[in-house]
Chains A and B, each alone.
Chain A
Amino acid sequence: MPSFDAIIIGAGPNGLAAAHRLASKGQKVLVVEAAGTPGGGAGLSHLSYNLDPRAEKAMGLAAHGLEWLTTNLATTALCADGNHLRLEGPVGLRLSGDIAERDRRGWETLRARLLRFAAVLSPLNQFAPPRIAKGVGNPMGKLAMVALRARMLGAKDIRELGRIILTNVHDLLDDELSDPRLKGALAFDATLGGWLGPRSPNSVLPWLVRLSGQTAGKQGALGLPRGGMAALGAAMARSSEAQGVTLRCNARVARIVVDGERAIGVTLASGEEIRAARIVSCTAPKTTLLDLVGPRHLDAGLTTRARHQKSRGGAAKLDLTLKALPDFRGANLRDRLILSGSEHDVERAFNPVKYGRVPDRPGLEIVIPTSRDPRSDSKHHLSAIAQFAPHAPADREAARAQMLAACLMQLETHSPGIGALVESAELLMPYDIEDRYGLPGGQWHAGELSVEQMLFLRPLPGIAQYQGPIPGLWLASAGCHPGGGVSGSAGWNAALAMEAAE
């Protein structure tokens, strides 16, 4: 039986990034993936907003088949009467459409400020969170640079950052803007993938984290790979294999083997046991700790904290196969389409979800990749993220049917006749996402990305530096710092932490 230096659980972006980095340093690495193909959560998303530039470069993803259809996807905020608003360039650099000059200028100022703030935070994505203790080897130089860059914002900006950082998206937008279409689209974008509405406290910081991402060197830009995000996952897998990583799909890990209070291997669902000096779990921390390791090998307090870690998914994934291209009242179908209504509509879509119910008018982030990259059968694919959806409704089947009907109703309102074009529809509710992708609660970030679960509190206090609670175990999923998206940052940071620990 071949032996490995490291076994990585999960061939998602983080697993593959960590695998590549470790293999490039001469380690023998095995990646075990439950699904039939690599890519993990990449296949769940439909856009790229925070691919880690270190991983992209070192893995040579372009050479391994990553091709961008665009690295600067524009957004159209749909309006039911066809009075759409278009946001071109990263994070709506240019607004076009019928919009008041006051809002145009207001957004210009707010956008620039948010991007400045996000840029100050973005270096934090590239190293392990500091520990709140003395003499524990914190990267003081890097932290000082972050502090210095924050200082260089100037007193006015620092005050403003302090004012808004723990506030909510709704109030922030309300301070500067009046156009409900713009506020709605921004509020929707800010809360994508979270379990909070625009009026929820602390909703601004997760938005800043999102804005700290980049595509092709442009902060806040959205990228669309040819073949979808799954193709990005596939490119990462090819790159890792070229680096010497052994990749085994259809290999679900049932347990992490702990012996002598050390993680020494994994047992697959098939019963096969594989050993390695290092076990790197790129599946959600909650799942890793509670299911794969199990409470018997963990301290009671940690187990409780893991159980209480918040991991509620609020987003559903909708995929439609259409006979022909729909018409969203003239909107550019090559854009990302946001169908959200006003900022109040976004909040209203969140309200019932708090109580496990389905909203009447969920918001949708729509991408039609076939508008740029036609399929051979000339059919079209509409991919949408629908918010908000309950993660634990009383009746799952009924909730799914209700959510699908609500989504189709929303689409019909904005694109009359689209219903007749639908050939097949698949809706993944948060609990379906949990079943298929192993994300607890169907949470897109493998644990809510909220202020109390960020930085040195992510995934849990005490284990935020990628080193697991037992020797030999490392945590490197999106549930770790800096969080989700299809970035590979957590995996890359974890690999760096492993190197530093040697």
Chain B
Amino acid sequence: MIAQQSTLRHYETPLLKTHFHPRTEALNKLWSWGNWGGYTTVVSFDDVAMEHSAIRNSASVYDLCPMIKYRIEGPDAADYLNRLTIRDASKLSVGGVHYTAWVNDAGHLLDDGTLFRLASDRYRICCQERHLPWLLDSAHGFDVAITEETEDIAALSLQGPTSAEILRRAGFDIDGLKPFRMAEFPLGKGHLMISRTGFTGDLGYELWTSPDQALALWDLLFDAGRLHGLRPIGSDALNIARLEAGFIITGYDFTPADICVREDRLRSPLEMGLGWLIDWKKGHFTGKAALKRQHERGSDWSFVGIEIDGNVPADGAILYHDQKHEAGVITGACWSPVLKKNIALAQVRTKYAKAENLWAEIYALRELHYAKMMMRARLVERPFFAPDRRRATPPGRF
């Protein structure tokens, strides 16, 4: 994303660099990089536990640049998004943000994401996967223009109890900003859009600016956050926080329908615990008829949060009912440092979605040999962790 694209020979640089790369590179003590959507991103800067601790006890900065962003604008933008997504986009007021998802004709999930209403006729979708062909196909018959703007925006996620205070110290008056609202501020020769959103379930903000302001923004935050425990984090720490918050990730917790090969792996919003997003009354949207049929018939799969005995993360573990019958699979798991519990998200067959006698079969590699454990798994409500500070307005001065 650094201004090198036009001269870049892609085959010499399989992974691109984000607008913040000069800073993340300098701080990445472990040199631990991962591929996120074709970009070089930090897995962990130095210590995952400390990075996670920053999210929950001070503040953290996460480079959001590889998040896919589309701008949707035109007189039919609201109608278009209402046909595209399962939630009512016309109810979203200007300056508002909501979480939403979209499905194919069969009602199978393509992706979830956040929808920002920038103006009455202009929106932005942020999501995990690339969907331009689907978005363009969906635009037939609508007066809208769709622009892929992933590269045009430098974005950071500032999350944690002291995040609001850091923004104040950086000169941004965010006291009146409620959750899922956004506001615009001047920044250098450009501007900064701050939305009170995030992927941690904590008090936090996402910051959106033009690439030329990226490094200045980074430096401004770290100057302001010097005494408030601000720390850059990588995707490992974020993953723990999002599991605690009970959030799903496309491609991890379900396979998006457009790349899914196995028919029995396709999942609907109803099966992924996203049924609450569906607005049955807003009129037609893509996949509605199929979802309605599934809603009436009942779905085969359900998505649940579980707590597991012991302290060994149960990533990928198979769930059994009565230690005998396969009941589902764990799609994300961690030891939660905040809860001091072993938590997980799982796809389970609906008939076991309220079952008591569930077990997780965990294989833990211990000095070259697997220790096999059958651990008790209890269904619990999501989110696992939801502190009141995430919603308080004005946000607390931590």
Contacts and interface: CB of A to CB of B under 8 A. Distances in A.
A451 to B, nearest CB: 24
Contacts of A258: 284
Interface string A300-331: 11111001000000000000000000000000
Interface in B135-178: 137-138, 140-142
A295 B288 contact: no
Contact of A300 (B79, B137, B283, B289): B137
Given A300-B84, A300-B105, A301-B105, A294 B141 contact: yes
A296 interface: yes
Nearest to B134: A300
B387 to A, nearest CB: 39
Given A261-B289, A296-B79, A296-B83, A303 B141 contact: yes
A255 interface: no
Contacts of A290: 141
A296 B287 contact: no
Nearest to B106: A301
Interface string B33-46: 00000000000000
B137 A299 contact: no
Interface in B91-144: 104-105, 134, 137-138, 140-142
Contact of A261 (B84, B137, B140, B288): B288
B284 A297 contact: yes
Contacts of A304: 137, 140
B289 A295 contact: no
B286 interface: yes
B284 A296 contact: yes
Nearest to A294: B141
Contacts of A300: 83-84, 104-105, 134, 137-138, 140, 286
Nearest to A469: B289
A132 to B, nearest CB: 13
A203 B218 CA distance: 64
A394 B44 CA distance: 59
Nearest to A462: B105
Contact of B142 (A261, A295, A307, A462): A295
Interface residues of A, number: 18
A304 B133 CA distance: 11
Contacts of B141: 290, 294-296, 303
B283 A261 contact: yes
B145 to A, nearest CB: 16
A301 B104 contact: yes
Interface string B328-369: 000000000000000000000000000000000000000000
B18 to A, nearest CB: 31
Contacts of A298: 284
A59 B102 CA distance: 49
A470 B105 CA distance: 13
A300 B144 CA distance: 15
Contacts of B140: 295, 300, 303-304, 307
Nearest to B104: A301
Contacts of B142: 295-296
Nearest to A298: B284
Contacts of B288: 261, 299
A298 B105 CA distance: 9
Given A294-B141, A307-B140, A299 B283 contact: no
A299 B79 contact: no
A304 B138 CA distance: 8
Interface in B221-239: none
| Central interface residue in B84, B134, B137, by most chain A CB within 10 Å | B137
| Central interface residue in A296, A300, A301, by most chain B CB within 10 Å | A300
Contacts of A469: 289
B49 to A, nearest CB: 44
A443 B288 CA distance: 32
B222 to A, nearest CB: 44
Contacts of B287: 299
A261 B284 contact: yes
A296 B283 CA distance: 10
Interface string A252-263: 000000100100
A302 B288 CA distance: 13
A238 to B, nearest CB: 39
B136 to A, nearest CB: 10
Nearest to A258: B284
Contacts of B283: 261
Contacts of B83: 295-296, 300
A304 B84 CA distance: 13
24 contacts: A258-B284, A261-B283, A261-B284, A290-B141, A294-B141, A295-B141, A295-B142, A299-B104, A299-B105, A299-B286, A300-B83, A300-B134, A300-B137, A300-B286, A301-B105, A301-B137, A301-B286, A302-B105, A303-B141, A304-B137, A304-B140, A307-B140, A462-B105, A469-B289
In the complex, the 9 A-B pairs of residues with the closest C-beta atoms, listed nearest first: A295-B141, A301-B105, A299-B105, A300-B138, A300-B286, A299-B286, A304-B137, A261-B284, A297-B284
Given A296-B83, A299-B289, A300-B137, 12 more contacts: A258-B284, A261-B284, A261-B288, A261-B289, A296-B141, A296-B142, A299-B288, A300-B84, A301-B105, A301-B137, A304-B140, A462-B105
